Amino acid sequence: MQTTLATFGAGCFWGTEAAFRQLPGVVRTSVGYMGGHFEHPSYLDVLSRITGHAEVAQIEYDPAKISYAQLLETFWQIHDPTSLNRQGADRGEQYRSVIFCHTPEQKQAAEQAKAELDRSSRYDRPIVTQIEPAADYWLATEDHQQYFEKQRR
């Protein structure tokens, strides 16, 4: 099986990961940090807003079972892409709406989906989601991985 990576920031990474974990074709997920300028950031470093990182969920998926376009649809549905550096009660650049692209094809698909959503009448405000090249991914500690599932045990 050939798998592919996708990385999304849509607010708190716990909820983002939980939304993607339930999709058929998603093989593995993890949460961590991407898009900053600080090596090996901790959760507290990121929360302090000194690193520039976003909280992200990294998704490993089987493109024979789920497409990147389907992952993008989920991404748009699980958060407010018109809210700059805020999702619900969570505030700060670490909660920004961002798509980190691993390939030129992902970048093209993300830009097209963003433009289509912006032209639609779904939102009264412009889409502020950033689209950036994937960068170093810093895995969050084990207690943050599959956080919601661990809380149900």
- The domain limits of the chain are 4-152
Can you give the pLDDT at residue 88?
84
Task: Note the pLDDT tens digit of each residue in 96-130.
Answer: 999 999 999 999 999 999 999 999 989 999 999 99
**55 close to 31: Cβ distance less than 8 angstroms:** yes
Return the pLDDT at 153: 61
The C-alpha angle 102, 141, 48, rounded to 5 degrees, equals 85
Mean pLDDT across 24-45: 95
CATH number, span 4-152: 3.30.1060.10
* Tens-digit pLDDT profile for residues 70-94: 999 999 999 999 999 988 888 999 9
What span, in angstroms and rounded, lies between the C-alpha atoms of 134 and 104?
11
Annotated catalytic residue, options 8, 9, 10, 12: 12
Q: Is the pLDDT of residue 46 over 80?
A: yes
* Beta strands, E only, the chain: 4-10, 26-34, 54-61, 86-87, 90-91, 97-101, 130-133, 138-139
For residue 67, what are its two tokens?
A: 């497409």
Distance set, CA 113 to CA 16, 69, 117 (Å):
19, 8, 6
Question: Could you confirm whether 12 is annotated as catalytic?
Answer: yes
Neighbours of 80 (CB within 10 A): 18
